[in-house]
Structure 1
């Protein structure tokens, strides 16, 4: 492998993507939801939604193309070992977010969201972010979704060790300050 690619377990093969490492991950719990692999989680890519999403690993030093930290490895392992439970927690957070905070009053379909299966025609996992924000040996992991209620800004959920620490628009899944605030709220 050259400096443009990284083959480091437990991650799939990753490629350098200007600021961090990127690849693909399959999370079976998200199969059957919308396929949202286009830019900004928009549209469908024409293949059946099998739970494949872009994987982004933040680099502590992008100039040096630093490899993932031990905390990022631990967080990704935790996600893969507990994928169904993490997906359930994320889906429950999205059910609370939609129609609640997400609802703008124009879409009756959102009023019927009361369980995770109700989200299937409304959202699709587009990207999983493993941040360089960590506590207690685990990095934060964000889940970015394209959604019908806000095509431009999508939806996002930030987790730490499988627990939801923030829910909001897509940027909630990758902004470091949101992860830090979520960790602080959980501690307090």
Structure 2
């Protein structure tokens, strides 16, 4: 079983402590808001099901394996997420378009991944009801200084980023299901190459609409 999880109205809920995220912002308030001015100790909400939690849940083996992978590889996963965020950060700065004074407050330039410690905090970890190769998908939901309303989220499968975008990117079941759908084989080589290119860039395309739709 997964320590500390108890049955809730929908799915199971509890807490998870990921020491690798200690020292970041404390974002355990509602909708990932700041809950304390003190540094985060790595404890946040853990829940099963994402947006497809039900009132008759089960803890399945793939949930347990996903949890164990998350605990064991937390430093690797943290660095993977932060490195990806850093790669996308300049584009995010341009999309939000803060003026110089606001930019310094909400989205200052970041020289390396350690610069995100004062800008983001982990608020929720989601163990989704979707699995691949016997291990479930895991979503990481964050609060951030540049978008207090929508935050940002990352969905992973083991040590791979599946989706990056608004907070809902961490818990939308259809994203995980889409990831496991087989790509239809094209008889025409050019169509196959085009499809492959689209799939490789989809992780970025999935990110861009979130603030445009919600603003």
Fold shared, TM-score > 0.5 on shorter chain: yes
SS of 1:101 mapped into structure 2 = helix
SS of 1:131 mapped into structure 2 = strand
Choose between structure 1 and 2: higher strand proportion: 1
1:159 positional shift: 0.3
In structure 2, the partner of 1:25 is 16
Q: Say if 1:114 and 1:173 are closer, same or farther in 2 by CA, change over 3 A.
A: farther
After TM superposition, the structure 1 stretch with the greater mean CA deviation from structure 2, 55-64 or 115-124, is 55-64
* Aligned with 2:67 (options 61, 76, 80): 76
In structure 1, the partner of 2:153 is 156
Alpha-carbon distance in structure 1 between the residues aligned to 2:92 and 2:61: 35
* Conservation of the 8 A alpha-carbon contact between 1:153 and 1:170: yes
Residue 138 of structure 1 pairs with residue 138 of structure 2: no
In structure 1, the partner of 2:55 is 63
* Aligned with 1:112 (options 109, 114, 132): 109
1:130 positional shift: 0.5
* Conservation of the 8 A alpha-carbon contact between 1:97 and 1:168: no
* Aligned with 2:28 (options 37, 60, 70): 37
- Normalised by the length of structure 1, the TM-score is 0.85
Alpha-carbon distance in structure 2 between the residues aligned to 1:33 and 1:61: 28
RMSD: 2.2
1:105 positional shift: 1.4
SS of 1:67 mapped into structure 2 = coil
* Conservation of the 8 A alpha-carbon contact between 1:146 and 1:155: yes
Unaligned runs of 5+ in 2: 182-198, 201-215
SS of 1:12 mapped into structure 2 = coil
Choose between structure 1 and 2: higher helix proportion: 2
Alpha-carbon distance in structure 2 between the residues aligned to 1:119 and 1:137: 33
Unaligned runs of 5+ in 1: 1-7
Alpha-carbon distance in structure 1 between the residues aligned to 2:133 and 2:44: 27
* Structure whose alpha-carbon radius of gyration is higher: 2
